[in-house]
Structure 1
Amino acid sequence: MALLPRPTTLDRSVPAQDSGLSQTAEAPPESRGVLRSVWLWPVVATLACTVYRISTPVMWEDELTTWDVASRDLGQLLDTVQRVDAVLGTYYLLLHGWMTVFGDSATALRLPSALAMAGAAGCAALCGQRLFGRRAGLAGGLLFALIPVVSRYAHEARPYALVVCAVSLSTLLLLRALERPGSKRRWAAYALGVTAVGLFHLLALTVLLGHMVTAALRARAERRVLWSFGLAAAVGVVGAVPVALLGRAQTGRQISWIPQPDGWSLLSVWPQVFASAMLAGAVIALAATGWGERRGAALCCTAMAVLPPLVLWAVSHGEVSYFYHRYLLFTLPAWVMLAGAGLVAARSRAAVSAVLVVLAVLTLHEQQTLRKPFAHFNSGLDYRGAARTIEKYYRPGDAVVYDRGDDSWRMLDAGVRFYLPDDQRLHDVFLDESSADRDDLRPTECQDAGACLRGDKRVWLVVSGNWGDPFRELPDDQEQALRARYTEYGSEHVTGITVTLLELKA
């Protein structure tokens, strides 16, 4: 049994009225071949968009944290996530293995995110096909590729793209299980999909509210569906419990910076979720028109798109706020499924193609902006430029001092180390214990700055800002120790960073 009737190849007929979820289906022909598969072109389009200039944006602080943690040996990595960032532990482990094979360049670190977004597009297209028909699934999948935020987080070495993929995949697995409610194998696959969602991001488990609505509609025809769904969902959630227990103790440190949302946030968050106010409005408008004959399917998509943000907004009025735009990216597949149905409501392939082309043109500026060097920063820091300056004038035996004062979260040390060649590792003058040795995200520095100076002939000073005095950002004791023993040879300014070469006084 299928969740909804699948239209014929040409989608020429649709039910006159559908307030629930139908139980009969016409199986799609298997002889169309891969080139006619509804998932293929959304995957290709999304991958083409996401790999284009994937290495251009400079790695930013969160990505540098990913690189730093995932680069540690397995024992250190596991010790770290028991202390901090447990909710990202699965992602760090996955990337640790990936880096072992493919290296740690910016492209290598970001490629899993690009592949995940492509996978999410394919799953969304297949879900849309099951819910609204082949043309709607194809249109929704192609629309997914055009959303600027898809490229934005496909270009980021963080888990958000994998969360979107996991949610899209788990939704597809649910629809497959509802087609054959008696199949234990399909329910087991769905349970694994739910576990993957929780392991990549606990907040994304709120999508189960939408899944519950979907199962409840199907249960009107077959009551055992609710029992099967409940058991599979519970097993899936249990798989993520260890992450939840560890993450709960770390919440105050990890997301205490997120402000408590007001009522306006429920509307103002969507331009951020889509990374385009125009496209957010267009997708939501198309989704509204998707409420045609297949109201049961439309209700399922709406529940998956709307209920999670409402719940996260409501629970964010306690001690901790969880309402942040990138934590809502997992609703995108549901939005494009419903928008795909709205797109094909005109029943004209030319009209659908025209709308997609127009949206692609209108979002071109946002797409170009997202591929600029400092697209990932609120205020740019050119780690790459700073590293090039050091590389240009580097001599064996050089040392370095990083500004780790009030701006330690800017991660100047990790940023410069990432872009420096592997054979140019500088002695870090004031480093006491590295973040890896501390099983943490931040290092510690010497308490006695003067005692840590060992007489290096040349020291590179890397500080944030483009001030005339390169010492002004350092703690007082470090500034005094360096001024007493070193003279300034010369400085170069790159965006947001000053690099100064100091030489030991005669």
Structure 2
Amino acid sequence: MPAVWTFLFGLWGLSRQGSVWRDEAATWQVAQRSPSEIVHMLGNVDVVHGCYYLFMHALFACFGPGTTTLRLPSVLAAAVAAACVGAIGHRLAGPWAGLAGGLAFGLLPAVQFYLQEGRPYALVAAGAGISTLLLVVLLQGRGPGGRGLGGRGLRGWHLTAHWAAYGGIVLMSGLLNWLSLLILPAHMTTLIWSRADRGVWTRWTAASGVATACALPLVLFSRGQSAQVSWIPPLTWHMLTGPAVLLAIGGAGALLDRPRAGRLSAAVVGLPLLAVPQLALIALSLVQPLFLDRYILFSLLGLALLIGTAVGAAIRAATPRFPRASRWILPVAIAAAMAALLPQALAKRSPASRVDDVLAVTSDIRRLKETGNAVLFIPSARRDTESVTPGAFTGLRDIALTRSPRDSGTLKGTEAAPARIRAAMLAERRILLVTDAPQVAREPGAERDKVKSAVLREHFRAIADAQVRGRRVTLYERRAPAH
């Protein structure tokens, strides 16, 4: 039920009225390159998402590019993650807690945002859910006589296969985004809290160690591309408000479960899963700014599990005195949550929910362009509009570009030196500029972009302008020479 519930939430408004924002545009353009071109690019940029790009390339090759192909993997992954929350909750706190936790996962605002995102974060959450469920199964299988809390024991090759699957899933998640390895200290905390025996510790150390060692080359290589995340702002007290609220909610749910050392419970699994990745990313961000909620989306599995535990505890407490009324606690809670979150849910499914829309200005480009006109992009990253919809730029000449994104193994191509760009611009009568709308634009940082802006300001005048969903296209005409 949680899987179907979350899947239907994901299908609702999946296309976002045909909009695609800049992060998804990166997936879109890279997925349409050949495997050799993708590997070439990964040597220069975005190696942290390499496995995801190759996966999406295969999907685009099979089903063709489109918003459904772009986002449906995230929808399916979020449904898997919700099912894992439901299964873990059922095992540790009963069927009501499992059902409530699984349904709550799909309702969380951050989950609703990223389950319709053409990026790997929902897939990482699915991997975290599967690995956590495997860990719970393994811990339950280590009770007296090899029989766990669920009455099922794991022996011989079954035990080995489960641990191998655990390590493999952790590795796959790490290859999709190496920050997902922060789940390992969360799982370690669960092992400590539940007083796992020596055999469990030995096998967990082996499985997690192999997974980490296999992912380590990616971690080290990606450090050389850290300039990609230089735009992330330093950590501030204001940025800690969100994690503090999540931890408060999760802590309240954990208290209702009455956790204690030596007992495997929803709180012993859920609270570390929520808290440890959040706190670890905060600590990492003190060294290098990295604090973005999407990097640890998987920690919300713990929050959903703890919410489900709280609802399950309420139902158990009410059942002896109000057996009929207790059955309505979960439906009423879900209905109230849906009503409260409906405005957010609608907003997250609108084109305005993202900082921009790569496709929004394509109709204006077609309307304003004339064959032979020049085109410029400020910053050069806004060339993603052309990479995603090359047909809209047919007949235009990219006068700053020396090597295309494909040929240069980059996302935005290689541009000429500032002096050459200036000379090329002064030789043009009309130039079409694609840039950010003022609401989201930043001051030009690269020298090339400063030269582009200066030449347009001093030697050209705007004769047409259109701004749509964070993108802007302006047609400039050369000023008449002064007499």
Which bracket does the TM-score occupy, shorter chain normalised?
0.7 to 0.9
SS in 1 for 2:328: helix
Number of the residue aligned with 1:126: 87
Number of the residue aligned with 2:77: 116
8 Å contact 1:287–1:336 — kept in the other structure? no
8 Å contact 1:284–1:339 — kept in the other structure? no
Number of the residue aligned with 1:84: 45
- TM-score normalised to structure 2 length: 0.81
After superposition, the Cα gap between the structure-2 partners of 1:439 and 1:312, relative to the gap in structure 1 and judged at 3 Å, is same
Number of the residue aligned with 2:382: 412
The Cα shift of 1:364 comes to 0.8
Aligned mates of 1:106, 1:417 — CA distance in 2: 15
Structure 2 residue 14 is matched with structure 1 residue 54: yes
1:401 alignment partner, one of 354, 369, 375: 375
2:354 alignment partner, one of 351, 362, 376: 376
> What letter is aligned with 1:63?
E
User: Structure 2 matches for 1:2-401, cutoff 5 A?
Assistant: 41-56=1-16, 58-178=19-139, 179=141, 180=154, 182=156, 183-216=159-192, 220=196, 222-251=197-226, 253-262=227-236, 265-269=239-243, 285-291=252-258, 296-297=264-265, 298-318=267-287, 320-347=288-315, 348-377=326-355, 381-392=356-367, 397-401=371-375
8 Å contact 2:383–2:412 — kept in the other structure? no
The Cα shift of 1:72 comes to 2.2
> What letter is aligned with 1:336?
A
Percentage of pairs with the same residue: 31
Structure 2's unaligned 5+ residue stretches are 142-153, 316-325
8 Å contact 1:181–1:228 — kept in the other structure? no
After superposition, the Cα gap between the structure-2 partners of 1:388 and 1:195, relative to the gap in structure 1 and judged at 3 Å, is same
After superposition, the Cα gap between the structure-2 partners of 1:423 and 1:233, relative to the gap in structure 1 and judged at 3 Å, is same
8 Å contact 2:41–2:409 — kept in the other structure? yes
Structure 2 residue 458 is matched with structure 1 residue 464: no
The Cα shift of 1:301 comes to 1.6
Size of the alignment, in residue pairs? 443
SS in 1 for 2:337: helix
After superposition, the Cα gap between the structure-2 partners of 1:142 and 1:202, relative to the gap in structure 1 and judged at 3 Å, is same
8 Å contact 2:170–2:181 — kept in the other structure? yes
> What letter is aligned with 1:352?
L
8 Å contact 2:466–2:474 — kept in the other structure? yes
SS in 1 for 2:402: strand
> What letter is aligned with 1:433?
R
Aligned mates of 1:217, 1:481 — CA distance in 2: 64
SS in 2 for 1:403: strand
SS in 1 for 2:272: helix
SS in 2 for 1:317: helix
Aligned mates of 2:133, 2:194 — CA distance in 1: 15
The Cα shift of 1:120 comes to 0.8
Aligned mates of 2:463, 2:230 — CA distance in 1: 42
8 Å contact 2:125–2:297 — kept in the other structure? yes
CA RMSD of aligned residues (A): 3.4
> Residues 221-268 of structure 1, C-alpha deviation per residue, up to 9 Å, x if partnerless?
x431111111111122222122112112222x1323334435665443
Aligned mates of 2:211, 2:168 — CA distance in 1: 6
Aligned mates of 1:424, 1:284 — CA distance in 2: 57
Aligned mates of 2:390, 2:269 — CA distance in 1: 50
> What letter is aligned with 1:449?
I
> Residues 296-347 of structure 1, C-alpha deviation per residue, up to 9 Å, x if partnerless?
31122211211222222223323x1333322221111111112211111122
8 Å contact 1:219–1:225 — kept in the other structure? no
SS in 1 for 2:225: helix
Aligned mates of 1:110, 1:118 — CA distance in 2: 13
> Residues 128-184 of structure 1, C-alpha deviation per residue, up to 9 Å, x if partnerless?
122212221111000111111112111222211111111111111222333226411
8 Å contact 1:123–1:168 — kept in the other structure? yes
> What letter is aligned with 1:254?
Q
Higher share in helix: 2
The Cα shift of 1:487 comes to 8.5
SS in 1 for 2:13: coil
> What letter is aligned with 1:50?
G
Structure 2 residue 396 is matched with structure 1 residue 433: no
After superposition, the Cα gap between the structure-2 partners of 1:505 and 1:268, relative to the gap in structure 1 and judged at 3 Å, is closer
Greater Cα offset, 296-305 or 362-371 = 296-305
- TM-score normalised to structure 1 length: 0.77
> Residues 108-131 of structure 1, C-alpha deviation per residue, up to 9 Å, x if partnerless?
212211111111111111121222
SS in 1 for 2:118: coil
Aligned mates of 1:428, 1:312 — CA distance in 2: 41
8 Å contact 1:429–1:453 — kept in the other structure? yes
After superposition, the Cα gap between the structure-2 partners of 1:315 and 1:281, relative to the gap in structure 1 and judged at 3 Å, is closer
> What letter is aligned with 2:211?
G
Aligned mates of 1:229, 1:463 — CA distance in 2: 50
Greater Cα offset, 306-315 or 122-131 = 306-315
